[in-house]
Structure 1
Amino acid sequence: MEFMKHGRRNYSSLGFSDLETADVFEKMVEGRFLVQLTASDTMSLQDQRMKEEEAAFAESSTSNRGMPVTSSDKAKILKEMAKKKAEYNDQVPTGQKRKIIDEFDEPSKKQASDSTLHESHFYRINYERFHIHLRNEEIAKLAEVAINPTAGIIVQEMLRFGEKNMHTCKKAKTSDEMGVAGISTKLPADLSLPVFGDLGSNLNEYLETMAQRHYSILTGAGQKFAVNIEASTAQIQQRLVEAIVETKFPGSLRRIWRLLTMKGKLDEKQVSKMALMPPKDVRKGLSDLHAAGLVFIQRMFFLWYTSIPKSLEVLEQSTLRSLANLKQRRAYEVEQSAVILEKVERTDIETGQATLDAKSREALEVLNRKKGMLRVSEARLDHTMLLIRDI
């Protein structure tokens, strides 16, 4: 919370002195959840690029015996620089400073030692690292729900094994490959491997079942397997949209949405025939789903279809509006209880020399209860935004 408030902090400024907190802090640094700031953090992205270009032009001029760099040479240099796969980190909490580094290098031994706690070392939150970790948890939950708890354990261990090599959240397609023997060493010895009800299946057969097209959670065959991150995140987002449909609409409309998702583009007559519904109800249902951004129409041929990416865009906007409304409501509740909060912050109340009267205590309890419910709702919407935008 302190890092989110101030953007960058050192350990001494957090106000903790116990060994347990120091150990947690070092583990967060080792796990790259917190990254150390460097001198380049004071430079903007544009300044950093200009500095690199100047250095490249100067080097080219030196190699050409001091001759000025021509426009064609500049174009070649800029083209070569564009090919470099430098990682531009845009996650600095201030929103203004950025740096060109690889944030995902393994932490050095010096960084993991007592120097981590030195007051001259400042750190900030590595949001991308948190996104990767949370996405991996969601994929493990998907495997557990789609197949069984054993699949969830296997996927969790495979993702944990390759997490150190995951640099970005959105661009990842698969995790690092693992051999069957390597996977077996990560699993509990008494773990059952049921395949179609057969509890005596071996691990290789179980992994091949998870890699089948019906599940697509793993990819690979033989002795090498990897988690199919791209397909798994697509399944997570489709399940999210389907959950919205199930929450907001009755069973008949859910049937229409699932039918379009399975069959693709259909006209009203085809939907009515396949869904076993009267044309009038189908027309109204499609209109309601279209208004909610859950189905779409191809105007030229009047074909209805579903599109998860388009639905996610609509869902993102509605979720952001809901989040803004919740924050405004929480601010309103605090403003309405300003008198009670002023009493609570009085010195004599804080030191215990005086106490609140019964009416004030009751009002404070009501305020805290309302704030708690609003924060729970905000947390749920934050989780929805993670699944929509960040995985």
Structure 2
Amino acid sequence: MTTHENRLCRLIVREHFGPIVEKVANVLIRRGRMPVGPIANFTALKPRQVRECLFVLIQHNLAVYAESQEKSRIVTYYEINRTELLHRVLIPKVLHSSQEWFERDGALITESLLTHGKLTITDCVADVLKTSGVAPGKTTTQRTQSLTKAFTRMVKEKCLIAVRPSDSLTAADKDMAEEKRETDKMTLPPTAAELASIRKVLGAQKQAEQNATIVGLKRRLDTMDDGYGEKRPRLLTDGDLVIVEEVETDVYFKVNFDRFIIRWRNVQIANLYEARLNPTAKTIMQTIMNLAEERMINCKEEHSSPVSIMLLLNSLPKDTNLIDTLEFDPSDLGPNNTKPKIHECLDRYIQILEDDLMKILKKDAGRSGQYIINLKSASQILKKNLIQGIVSARFGAPYVRIMNMLADKGKLEEKQISRFSMMPVKDVREKLTTLCTFGVLNLQEVPKTKERTPSRTYYLWEVILPRAADTLTDRLYHTMGNLRQRRFVERSKRAVLLNKCERTDVKADDSLLNAAEKKELETLNGVLEMLEIQELRIAEMVITLRDF
């Protein structure tokens, strides 16, 4: 991991949990996994304090552990969960999305879980009732039912996931334990091919388990009072039983950042077609993504699950205008100028989306009338567009032209780039050097002879998108660390004023602050808000480059 990433992780822990927990996290970030004893030696803290800090990190899903048999004793090693820690910069965006998707109750539930790390549904509802209270005109029972309904919906849509005891172990340790369990069944040591086959089977089983059921959600028959003090199953008008889903009260849940990132990516993919075609194309793509989202696990999948035309037609919003947003040839309308039906217009839209140069939507080869989304190509397009925007804002359009040329044609020499871009060789050399220093381009040396002299060597320039994304991600980590450090500096400059504002008498009566202090406090809030907005914008760029 890079220095900038380590620094950002350390600053996140300091802001969210304080300087003592930061010491423990900093040792684990810099030195890797280790037991409590060495952590106490490196931090100069007491073992009891180290255990309390580790408890806080484990409670918030930021630390994992692994037990190892060493001679006659079992030693527990602790390690920082970097992925979960870096996701905490997205908390403002997660809260906003929860408010948008699940209304105010969803935002309050998400805030409670992010504050406490993991909670059961009973504890979460009680905490929300304690902090937000009951709205006028509603009883506590009605408020509890509303929060329970919102919590259940978030679990069904996988925005909240159950926390199992195995989640406190590292993913590598769990994979190695499963591999060892399979290899122990074999009489001879496995070959490389057999080991690869075992890993493939275990990966398929893991994916099937994630798609099979939702942990912590159970189904039961809905009951009603029969008038004699007994409960009986509720029936629909056609005689079918009513089955309801409810969350188990003894299961702990946490916020699933991966599900939020998947939804944000799906929205960005749909927005590509709004800029390229029209809003109706965006609506169609967004509906396809919503139908396929249930079986999505993470953003690294190459394809979505197939979606049929009939299911898509029935799932489109009612206000979708498919007919008036298409242009028809008069010869196709007939003598009565009759426009095609809705399903024919949808077929034409699907054909347009399939023939688009981005090649994101395509037919499923094994199933007739069903389509899938090429998520890998869509993610590559989103990354490429973001990198182009950064290069254009930093250096200008000529640099973007050179980058696009190399991305389309592959490896080229300076003279070839100069000829294709119609720019002097001197200017091209300067721009290539700038882009290479920035981390967007790579230089490949191909010697003609064994001596490798510069005069007898080809110098080929190319764009490697994953490497460029990693380089820009590290630069963005550096910028985010600077913004977060600036917030600490701004607060430290006004520490006396902030301490005064924390007093109970000042909170009760703000007239105890004079005009100069109020103005200074307003200035501080404005600066902090601006820094937080800038950091959130950069965090959105990091999501695209790192997670998509």
Same fold (TM over 0.5): yes
Cα deviation digits, residues 190-239 of structure 1 (max 9, x gap): 52368885496722122122112512120118732222211111111111
Among candidates 205, 218, 239, match of residue 361 of structure 2: 218
- Is 1:203 aligned to residue 346 of structure 2? yes
Cα deviation digits, residues 218-266 of structure 1 (max 9, x gap): 0118732222211111111111111111111123222222222222222
Amino acid paired to 2:377 = A
- Is 1:16 aligned to residue 128 of structure 2? yes
Separation (CA, whole Å) in 2 of partners of 1:57 and 1:262: 46
Cα offset, 1:307, TM superposition = 2.0
Structure 1 residue aligned with 2:465: 308
Amino acid paired to 2:160 = L
Structure 1 residue aligned with 2:22: none
Classify 1:54/1:216 alpha carbon distance in 2 versus 1 (closer, same or farther; 3 Å): closer
Contact kept, 8 Å, 1:217 with 1:229, in 2: the verdict is: yes
Separation (CA, whole Å) in 2 of partners of 1:117 and 1:371: 41
Structure 1 residue aligned with 2:81: none
Structure 2 residue aligned with 1:126: 256
Q: How does 1:52-71 map onto structure 2 within 5 Å?
A: none
Amino acid paired to 2:502 = E
Count of aligned residue pairs for this structure pair: 367
Separation (CA, whole Å) in 2 of partners of 1:52 and 1:311: 35
Cα offset, 1:39, TM superposition = 4.1
Amino acid paired to 1:369 = G
Separation (CA, whole Å) in 2 of partners of 1:5 and 1:47: 28
Cα offset, 1:87, TM superposition = 8.0
Among candidates 302, 314, 318, match of residue 185 of structure 1: 314
Structure 1 residue aligned with 2:116: 6
Separation (CA, whole Å) in 2 of partners of 1:271 and 1:103: 48
Contact kept, 8 Å, 1:266 with 1:305, in 2: the verdict is: yes
Please list every run of 5 or more consecutive structure 2 residues that lacks an aligned counterpart in the other structure.
1-110, 130-142, 221-242, 330-338, 447-457
Classify 1:345/1:285 alpha carbon distance in 2 versus 1 (closer, same or farther; 3 Å): same
Q: What SS does the aligned partner of 1:8 have?
A: coil
Separation (CA, whole Å) in 2 of partners of 1:230 and 1:148: 23
Contact kept, 8 Å, 2:444 with 2:460, in 1: the verdict is: yes
Please list every run of 5 or more consecutive structure 1 residues that lacks an aligned counterpart in the other structure.
61-70, 90-99
Q: Report the TM-score, using the length of structure 2 for normalisation.
A: 0.60
Structure 1 residue aligned with 2:187: 72
Classify 1:54/1:248 alpha carbon distance in 2 versus 1 (closer, same or farther; 3 Å): closer
Contact kept, 8 Å, 1:195 with 1:209, in 2: the verdict is: no
Identical amino acids, percent of aligned pairs: 26
Structure 2 residue aligned with 1:346: 503
Classify 1:88/1:354 alpha carbon distance in 2 versus 1 (closer, same or farther; 3 Å): farther
Which 10-residue stretch deviates more, 291-300 or 374-383? 291-300
Among candidates 467, 481, 487, match of residue 324 of structure 1: 481
Classify 1:270/1:133 alpha carbon distance in 2 versus 1 (closer, same or farther; 3 Å): same
Contact kept, 8 Å, 1:35 with 1:103, in 2: the verdict is: no
- Is 1:365 aligned to residue 511 of structure 2? no
Q: How does 1:1-391 map onto structure 2 within 5 Å?
A: 1-14=111-124, 15-17=127-129, 18-19=143-144, 20-41=146-167, 72=187, 75=190, 79=195, 82-86=199-203, 102-107=209-214, 108-110=217-219, 116=247, 118=249, 120-170=250-300, 172-189=301-318, 190-192=320-322, 197-198=327-328, 202-212=345-355, 214-220=357-363, 223-300=369-446, 301-352=458-509, 355-391=512-548
Which 10-residue stretch deviates more, 354-363 or 103-112? 103-112
Which 10-residue stretch deviates more, 221-230 or 205-214? 221-230
Separation (CA, whole Å) in 2 of partners of 1:372 and 1:141: 28
Cα offset, 1:179, TM superposition = 2.2
Cα deviation digits, residues 12-35 of structure 1 (max 9, x gap): 444223344433222211211112
Classify 1:208/1:291 alpha carbon distance in 2 versus 1 (closer, same or farther; 3 Å): same
Cα deviation digits, residues 138-186 of structure 1 (max 9, x gap): 211122223322221111111111111112321x222222222221222
Contact kept, 8 Å, 1:140 with 1:152, in 2: the verdict is: yes
Contact kept, 8 Å, 2:183 with 2:190, in 1: the verdict is: no
Separation (CA, whole Å) in 2 of partners of 1:105 and 1:270: 54
Classify 1:88/1:188 alpha carbon distance in 2 versus 1 (closer, same or farther; 3 Å): closer
Amino acid paired to 2:517 = S
Classify 1:35/1:251 alpha carbon distance in 2 versus 1 (closer, same or farther; 3 Å): closer
Contact kept, 8 Å, 1:194 with 1:206, in 2: the verdict is: no
Q: Which structure carries more strand by proportion?
A: 2
Q: What SS does the aligned partner of 1:109 have?
A: strand
Structure 2 residue aligned with 1:63: none
Contact kept, 8 Å, 2:407 with 2:462, in 1: the verdict is: yes
Cα offset, 1:309, TM superposition = 1.5
Structure 2 residue aligned with 1:97: none
Amino acid paired to 2:247 = T
Amino acid paired to 1:364 = L
Cα offset, 1:348, TM superposition = 0.6
Which 10-residue stretch deviates more, 191-200 or 289-298? 191-200
Separation (CA, whole Å) in 2 of partners of 1:211 and 1:54: 45
